[in-house]
């Protein structure tokens, strides 16, 4: 591991990622000349979801083994546990998203507790202020919620559910007026809102693939779908050869980034062309793109090259 100081030459953005098997949260400059450089934000046992607060330049990530949510600066300093199961009643957090306008973090929350030998489960979506106060539940019954996205202009929250009735749901930030905007899905994972005001979602088709393990011809590839946010049928992007897509991020120029468990890679999609941004990574999880790197000057952080991992 080498020390890399002074990221004083800005680029157009940074792609945050979580690698569950390696216990790493980091970022790369996907548009830079040396995309093999990975910058480390922090470590935990099994990180999954990532989010970013552009006002305070703080990275948040969840850990599904620890049942925690961490926070740290981009350079890894001020790393601490923001939420933990013992104090905030959180279980598995698969999705995180920042509402910068109102200073809040939203997160999916699934768990089980036992009282007098009886098991009680919860599948909900919660929110909390950046200062750790004002925790509340905005969705009490969200069957297996996963990824979250915010439409800041309309004060809408989107989330995916992968239970029996897999869907994409939209609601107001306070949880009111929930509406299923996309159904007839299999295993929707990542969801995002593009600068083109379109809705993007990836579906791993994991249920179908497992059901057809003995029938290879019936197995379906993972899918990327996009279209107007109010449309009940989104267009599937052809020819991407996705296997098990999980994380999804959309840049300001609408370039799409997808993490794919099956391909063990993080991919970019632009104009129908698929490019590998990071290869040979196991269990790549959530992604988040931010153009904020232009604001970071003289950052000191750590990086390693792909060849050293």
Backbone phi, then psi, for 97, in 5-degree steps?
-155, 145
For residue 140, CA distances in Å to 188, 202, 259 come to 20, 24, 29
Count the Cβ atoms, other than its own, within 10 Å of residue 203.
28
Q: Which band of pLDDT confidence, cut at 50, 70 and 90, is reported for residue 293?
A: low
11-20: average pLDDT: 87
Domains of the chain, by residue range, sit at 2-308
| Confidence band for 294, pLDDT divided at 50, 70 and 90 | very low
**Banded pLDDT at 32 (limits 50, 70, 90):** low
pLDDT band at 90 (very low <50, low <70, confident <90, very high): very high
What pLDDT was estimated at residue 217? Answer: 44
Q: How does the average pLDDT of the chain come out, rounded?
A: 85
Alpha-carbon gap, residue 236 to 228, rounded angstroms? 13
Q: Is the pLDDT of residue 274 over 90?
A: yes
- Provide the β-strand partners of residue 295: none
Q: Note the pLDDT of residue 219.
A: 55
Q: For residues 98 and 127, give the distance between their C-alpha atoms in angstroms, rounded to a whole number.
A: 10
pLDDT at 36 (0 to 100): 63
Is the Cα dihedral 19, 23, 25, 27 positive or negative? negative
Residue 7 clears pLDDT 80, i.e. is over it: no
Per cent of the chain over pLDDT 70 is 84
Residue 151 has pLDDT above 70, yes or no: yes
Q: Which helix (H) or strand (E) holds 86?
A: helix 85-88
pLDDT computed for residue 292 by the predictor: 66
pLDDT band (50, 70, 90) for residue 57: very high
What does each C-alpha distance from 123 to 146, 169, 283, 285 come to in angstroms?
Answer: 10, 14, 23, 20
Instruction: Give the confidence band of 6 by pLDDT, cuts at 50, 70, 90.
Output: very low
pLDDT at 2 over 70: no
pLDDT-derived band at 268 (thresholds 50, 70, 90) equals very high
Q: Is the pLDDT of residue 61 over 60?
A: yes
**pLDDT by residue (tens digit) across 196-228?**
999 999 998 755 555 455 444 445 688 999 988
Q: Write down the pLDDT at residue 116.
A: 79
Q: Is the pLDDT of residue 23 over 60?
A: yes
Handedness of CA 230, 126, 286, 34 (dihedral sign): positive
Query: Which CATH class for the 2-308 domain?
Result: mainly beta
Report d(CA 7, CA 140) in Å as an integer: 43
Looking at the predicted structure, is the pLDDT value of residue 175 above 80? yes
Question: How many CA atoms are closer than 13 Å to the CA of 124, on its beta-carbon side?
Answer: 17
Instruction: Write down the pTM of the prediction.
Output: 0.87
Instruction: Evaluate if residue 121 carries a pLDDT over 80.
Output: yes
Q: What one-character-per-residue DSSP string does 206-225 give?
A: HHHHHHTTT-GGG---BEEE
Q: Which of 105-114, 149-158, 235-244 has the highest mean pLDDT?
A: 149-158
């Amino acid at each position: 591991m080498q020390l890399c100081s002074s990221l004083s030459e800005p680029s157009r953005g940074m792609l945050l990622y979580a690698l569950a098997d390696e216990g790493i949260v980091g970022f790369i400059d996907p548009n830079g000349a040396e995309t093999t450089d990975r910058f480390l934000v922090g470590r935990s046992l099994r990180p999954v979801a990532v989010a970013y607060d552009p006002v305070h330049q703080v990275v948040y990530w969840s850990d599904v083994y620890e049942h925690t949510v961490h926070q740290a600066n981009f350079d890894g300093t001020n790393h601490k546990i923001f939420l933990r199961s013992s104090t905030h009643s959180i279980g598995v957090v698969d999705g995180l998203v920042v509402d910068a306008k109102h200073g809040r973090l939203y997160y999916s929350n699934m768990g089980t507790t036992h009282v007098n030998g009886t098991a009680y489960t919860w599948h909900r979506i919660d929110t909390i202020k950046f200062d750790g106060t004002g925790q509340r539940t905005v969705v009490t019954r969200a069957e297996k919620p996963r990824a979250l996205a915010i439409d800041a202009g309309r004060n809408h929250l989107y989330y995916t559910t992968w239970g029996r009735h897999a869907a994409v749901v939209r609601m107001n930030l306070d949880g009111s007026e929930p509406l299923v905007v996309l159904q007839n899905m299999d295993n929707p994972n990542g969801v995002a809102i593009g600068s083109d005001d379109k809705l993007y979602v990836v579906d791993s088709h994991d249920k179908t693939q497992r059901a057809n393990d003995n029938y290879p011809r019936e197995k379906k590839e993972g899918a990327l779908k996009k279209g107007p946010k109010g449309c009940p049928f989104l267009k599937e992007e052809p020819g991407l050869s996705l296997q098990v897509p999980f994380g999804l991020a959309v840049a300001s120029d609408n370039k799409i980034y997808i993490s794919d468990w099956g391909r063990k890679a993080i991919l970019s999609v632009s104009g129908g062309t698929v490019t590998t941004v990071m290869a040979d990574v196991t269990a790549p999880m959530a992604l988040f793109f931010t153009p904020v790197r232009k604001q970071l000057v003289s950052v000191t952080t750590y990086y390693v090259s792909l060849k050293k991992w």
